[in-house]
């Protein structure tokens, strides 16, 4: 059992051209840039900054956003170098498979599924809740959930996931055009909020810029589970604010930057990926960072962070209500709804592309990687992903797992950052269109920063993450390792070396198994 076997870059590119499993290259630099903004600028811009300021960093939340942006930028540089060298679907999973071996590639792919599935389900549920708020502002009382046999069904999640599942089935370019329209609208809403917010800014609200550290109010095991993993490891008492609060805030607001690794999953659907991918990713990241910092400056200048901390779930609406501008709530509610809409679309697309890449390799059932001859989209897989997200979002309390999104993303960032060093050592002949500058320094800094942000997530998040990894390893050894196409190739090569005559038969049997699997589904 060779768990460290790697898949060559040439083989990954060849598999992406396999008839019946190909994706169409239709996305431009503009499409990628808007896609990054679409998935990053969601309702989080109206809420996550307020939570980080209220509970962790105070006015220094702007520094938290800057740290998160720099960390993301370093990791995205590594993604860009990989994506221009291996322009196929699958993102960090494919990159890891080419450098660090199958087992770690499975773990990263499994973590990406965690990130994208959980994010899509959480945000779809919030979309339904925000839709009810918009109805309420227009005088209509439409509850976000209906009771069916004692179970709350969030109907909005089903609606929005169904709409974008259909759009993604019809074609990536069509869904990108729809996403572009929604994204431009929500950028306009964000700019409105920034301009209006700055008219209420009072300089004294920025002081103290970094509040003094203080112990959290809770005690006992529950409070320990909520503290950062770093604090738990170092034996520090649960606390908030201070310098550590800035980094805890950065770990929280990192959620706002997860979209850019999703953009990398679309590499196989990009026209001229060597030039388009870096431009689209970095252009989107620069715009998003600017918007986040301006929003956080307006937020913490409007009201004191202590006022935000008094609210149960502080948002931008909390700040506008505190200064007496209740009319802004309508704009924010509308902006949140529009913002969430495009996030769901990009996450659903990213989820299906990661699963498609893993199923092409046999680590998941090969039937899932079948694409439509007419539209070149994974119709069956997209419908399965949409149905699963809708069921979890509509029927479960999935929002309890929000931080799982961050830990899944950061774990992938760590491996991709280190993978660049392995790729350069193993394949010095490669000349990707983009290379991370300063040699080994920036990839190492990226990995360290991402790992440190991971340790600033809550202890309970790490516990859930460990459980998820155990489940993933069980699936890999029970199914993925045995059905891996690379495993079959290794077996054939071994038999050939040992003089066994069955290599051709193994290949034929493998093809028959794939055909049987497709016919069964």
Question: Which of 109, 96, 110, 102 is closest to 4 using CA atoms?
Answer: 102
CA distance 353 to 362: 14
Of 480, 502, 483, the closest CA to residue 493 belongs to 502
Q: How far apart are CA 28 and CA 97, in angstroms?
A: 27
Whole-angstrom Cα distance, residue 162 to residue 337? 16
Interval 248-262: pLDDT, tens: 888 778 767 766 666
State mean pLDDT over 53-64. Answer: 88
Q: Is the peptide bond before 469 cis (omega within 30 degrees of 0)?
A: no
CB 456 within 8 A of CB 247: yes
pLDDT at 516: 43
- How does residue 492 score in pLDDT terms, banded at 50, 70 and 90? low
Q: Which residue has the higher pLDDT, 374 or 290?
A: 290
| DSSP type of residue 428 | T
Which is higher by pLDDT, 213 or 202?
202
Q: Is the pLDDT of residue 82 over 50?
A: yes
The predicted pLDDT at position 497 comes to 61
The per-residue pLDDT for range 215-274, each reduced to its tens digit, is: 765 544 556 677 777 777 777 666 678 888 888 888 778 767 766 666 766 666 767 776
Taking residues 409-438, report their average pLDDT: 85
Mean pLDDT, the chain, rounded, equals: 79
* pLDDT range class, residue 504, cuts 50, 70, 90: very low
- Predicted local distance difference test score (pLDDT) of residue 520: 41
Q: Over 90: is that where the pLDDT of 43 sits?
A: no
- Inform me whether the pLDDT recorded for 35 exceeds 80: no
How far is residue 284 from each of residues 39, 73, 172, 333, measured CA to CA in Å?
Answer: 10, 11, 19, 24
Please give the average per-residue pLDDT across 391-411, as a whole number. Answer: 78
Q: What is the pLDDT of residue 467?
A: 93
Q: Determine the pLDDT at residue 509.
A: 43
Confidence of residue 506 (pLDDT cuts 50, 70, 90): very low
Structure confidence at residue 468 (pLDDT): 92
Find the helix or strand (DSSP H, E) in which 215 lies.
strand 214-215
Residue 378, classed as helix, strand or coil, is: coil
For residue 152, what pLDDT is reported? Answer: 80
Mean pLDDT of 408-434: 85
Residue 511 pLDDT class (50, 70, 90 cuts): very low
The pLDDT assigned to 502 comes to 43
The pLDDT-based confidence of 275 (bands split at 50, 70, 90) is confident
Residue 507, C-beta contacts closer than 8 angstroms, at least 6 positions apart: 488, 492
- Predicted confidence (pLDDT) at residue 213 exceeds the cutoff of 50: yes
pLDDT for residue 469:
93
520 vs 302 pLDDT, higher one: 302
Question: pLDDT (tens digit, 9 = 90+) per residue, 165-208?
Answer: 888 888 766 666 777 787 888 888 888 888 988 999 999 999 88
Distance between CA atoms of residues 364 and 110, nearest Å: 11
Rounded to whole angstroms, the Cα distance separating 91 from 84 reads 11
Encoded tokens for 285: 């990241």
The structure's pTM equals 0.77
Element (H, E) at 151: strand 151-153
Task: Quick: pLDDT tens for 342-387.
Answer: 788 888 888 988 898 899 888 999 888 888 777 677 888 999 999 9
């Amino acid at each position: 059992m060779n768990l460290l076997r790697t898949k060559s870059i040439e083989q990954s590119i060849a598999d992406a051209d396999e008839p019946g499993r190909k994706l169409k290259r239709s996305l431009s630099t503009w499409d990628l840039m808007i896609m990054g903004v679409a998935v990053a600028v969601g309702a989080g811009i109206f809420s996550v900054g307020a939570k980080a300021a209220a509970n962790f960093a105070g006015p220094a939340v702007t520094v938290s956003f800057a740290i998160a942006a720099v960390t993301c930028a370093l990791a995205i540089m590594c993604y860009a170098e990989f994506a221009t060298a291996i322009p196929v679907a699958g993102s960090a999973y494919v990159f890891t498979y080419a450098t660090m071996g199958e087992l770690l590639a499975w773990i990263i792919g499994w973590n990406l599924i965690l990130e994208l599935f959980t994010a899509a389900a959480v945000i779809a549920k919030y979309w339904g809740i925000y839709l009810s708020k918009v109805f309420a502002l227009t005088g209509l009382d439409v509850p976000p959930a209906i009771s069916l046999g004692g179970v709350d069904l969030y109907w909005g999640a089903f609606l929005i996931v169904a709409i974008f599942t259909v759009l993604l089935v019809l074609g990536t370019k069509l869904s990108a055009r729809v996403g572009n329209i929604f994204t431009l609208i929500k950028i306009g809403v964000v700019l409105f909020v920034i301009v209006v917010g700055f008219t209420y800014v009072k300089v004294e609200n920025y002081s103290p810029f970094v509040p003094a550290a203080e112990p959290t109010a809770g005690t006992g095991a529950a409070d320990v589970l909520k503290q950062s993993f770093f604090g738990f490891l170092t034996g520090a008492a649960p606390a908030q604010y201070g310098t550590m609060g800035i980094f805890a805030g950065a770990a929280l607001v990192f959620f706002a930057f997860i979209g850019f690794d999703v953009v990398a999953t679309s590499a196989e659907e990009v026209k001229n990926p060597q030039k388009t991918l870096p431009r689209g990713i970095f252009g989107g990241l620069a715009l998003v960072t600017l918007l986040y910092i301006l929003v956080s400056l307006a937020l913490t200048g409007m009201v004191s962070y202590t006022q935000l901390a008094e609210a149960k779930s502080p948002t931008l609406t909390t700040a506008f209500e505190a200064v007496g501008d209740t009319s802004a709530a309508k704009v924010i509610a509308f902006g949140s709804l529009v913002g969430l809409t495009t996030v769901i679309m990009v996450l659903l697309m990213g989820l299906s592309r990661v699963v498609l890449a893993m199923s092409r390799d046999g680590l998941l059932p090969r039937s899932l990687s079948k694409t439509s001859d007419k539209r070149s989209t994974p119709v069956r897989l997209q419908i399965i992903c949409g149905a699963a997200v809708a069921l979890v979002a509509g029927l479960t309390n999935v929002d309890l797992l929000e931080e799982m999104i961050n830990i899944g993303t950061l774990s992938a960032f760590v491996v991709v950052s280190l993978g660049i060093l392995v790729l350069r050592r193993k394949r010095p002949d490669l000349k990707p269109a983009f290379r991370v500058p300063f040699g080994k320094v920036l990839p190492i800094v990226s990995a360290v920063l991402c790992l440190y942000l991971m340790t600033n997530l809550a202890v309970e998040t790490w516990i859930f993450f460990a459980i998820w990894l155990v489940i993933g390893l069980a699936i890999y050894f029970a199914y993925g390792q045995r059905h891996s196409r690379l495993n079959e190739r290794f077996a054939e090569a071994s038999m050939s070396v040992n003089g066994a005559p069955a290599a051709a038969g193994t290949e034929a049997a493998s093809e028959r198994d794939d055909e049987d699997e497709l016919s069964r589904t």
